[in-house]
Amino acid sequence: MSEFKDPKNFAIAQFNFCWVIALRAEAIPIIETFKMKILDNQSLFPIYANETTGHALIISGIGSIKSAAAATFLKNYLQIKNYTAWINLGIAGFSRDPIGDIYQAVKVVSKESGAVFFPGLRLSKLLPAETLVTVSKPESKYNEPVLYDMEAAGFCELVPSFSCNELTYVIKIVSDTANSSSTLITKNLVRELIEKQLPKISAVLSQIEVLVQEEKERLSLPEEIEYFEKNFRFTETSKHQFREIYRKWKLMFPTKSLDPSEFLNSQPKDIILQLEKEILINAKSWNAI
């Protein structure tokens, strides 16, 4: 039974992690671990989320194009903020045994287009790094010493524009090799492989969350800026001017706050001019000393 929620209710939610996963069997361990609930299973892509744990997840289906489309859909559906980490997690073929090993793909190559991507910061203390090749049909020859999947290139081509490349991660668990055919893969095996790596995945998330918080802090606006922009009719251009002059003003007056009562009948340009005036007066007083 589906559970529907108005996505507008999530507009103020702070999702620190967005998962783009191809198969339901791959997604179930993550959904259960972070207690996500179905939001919409009648849309093109099933979406799960838990605003309390800060996780959202979309099941994309197989293919590079679907992965990119699903990521875009999730971002727009939940109005995902630009400090959020994006993770493409799933199974992959590999040139060597054993199955079940987990890797961070630090280089992703599209076999079809030749495009190359370098997602994320290296988490070398937690995960070994490997090159991954995204193919358009299942790989069975494993001619190169690389991982093989069918989604990551599409994910990597688009997702960094949602936040930044440093918050874009591709994590793969080996499901098949030259000695263990992909024909032996079952839903239960996929789920088991991912469940066994949950402790390591949790450790990775802890490290990524530090980066998320740093980016959130870097991008956050002081409450008084938000108040002024909400209550005065700033255009996009004047918002930019206001934020720039406010930054300079705050550097000069770090303990001072903007008092809305001083600007009751003011236009945005008046507020900007007043801050510029205070900066200029203070600069002149310093020069006079």
- Please report the DSSP string for 222-275 in residue order: PHHHHHHHHHS---HHHHHHHHHHHHHHHHH-TT----GGGGTT--HHHHHHHH
Confidence of residue 131 (pLDDT cuts 50, 70, 90): very high
Instruction: Give the residue, 6 or 53, on which the prediction is more confident.
Output: 53
**3-state class of 175 per DSSP?**
strand
With CA atoms as reference, report the closest residue to 16 among 216, 180, 251: 216
Q: Residue 206: pLDDT above 70?
A: yes
Q: Residue 9: pLDDT above 80?
A: no
User: Looking at residue 120, what is its pLDDT?
Assistant: 96
Residues in the chain: 289
Cα separation, 165 vs 168, in Å, equals 5
With CA atoms as reference, report the closest residue to 145 among 126, 129, 132: 132
What would the DSSP string read from start to end of 146-183?
Answer: SEEESSHHHHHHHGGGTS-GGGEEEEEEEEEBTTB-GG
Q: Residue 183: pLDDT above 50?
A: yes
Q: Kindly state the tokens that stand for 46.
A: 């099933």
With CA atoms as reference, report the closest residue to 51 among 107, 94, 9: 9
Quick count: other Cβ atoms within 10 Å of Cβ 283?
Answer: 11
What does DSSP assign to residue 83?
T
Is domain 7-219 in CATH 3.40.30.10, yes or no?
A: no
Q: Residue 278: pLDDT above 70?
A: yes
Q: Residue 166: pLDDT above 90?
A: yes
Quick count: other Cβ atoms within 10 Å of Cβ 44?
Answer: 13
User: Looking at residue 230, what is its pLDDT?
Assistant: 87
Q: Taking a C-beta distance cutoff of 8 angstroms, is the pair 162, 82 a contact?
A: yes
pLDDT in tens, 27-41: 999 999 999 999 977
User: Looking at residue 200, what is its pLDDT?
Assistant: 98
Q: Residue 2: pLDDT above 60?
A: no
With CA atoms as reference, report the closest residue to 160 among 103, 49, 84: 84
User: Looking at residue 11, what is its pLDDT?
Assistant: 54
pLDDT in tens, 81-129: 999 999 999 999 999 999 999 999 999 999 999 999 999 999 999 999 9
Confidence of residue 285 (pLDDT cuts 50, 70, 90): low
Q: Which residues pair with 40 in a beta bridge?
A: 47
pLDDT in tens, 246-257: 988 988 888 888
With CA atoms as reference, report the closest residue to 43 among 87, 1, 86, 2: 2
pLDDT in tens, 145-158: 999 999 999 999 99
User: Looking at residue 10, what is its pLDDT?
Assistant: 59
User: Looking at residue 106, what is its pLDDT?
Assistant: 98
Instruction: Give the residue, 192 or 223, on which the prediction is more confident.
Output: 192
Question: Could you tell me the residue ranges of all domains in the chain?
Answer: 7-219, 223-288
Confidence of residue 286 (pLDDT cuts 50, 70, 90): low
Average pLDDT over the chain reads: 91
Cα separation, 170 vs 99, in Å, equals 18
Non-local CB neighbours of 184 within 8 Å, separated by 6+ positions = 176
Cα separation, 47 vs 28, in Å, equals 12
Using alpha carbons only, give the angle 177, 178, 181 rounded to the nearest 5 degrees: 70
Q: Kindly state the tokens that stand for 208.
A: 């990524």
Q: Kindly state the tokens that stand for 202.
A: 């949790």
> What is the percentage of the chain residues whose pLDDT exceeds 90?
70
User: Looking at residue 6, what is its pLDDT?
Assistant: 60
Give the ranges where 18-78 is alpha helix by DSSP (H).
Answer: 24-33, 64-78
Q: Kindly state the tokens that stand for 227.
A: 């108040």
Q: State the average pLDDT over residues 165-184.
A: 92
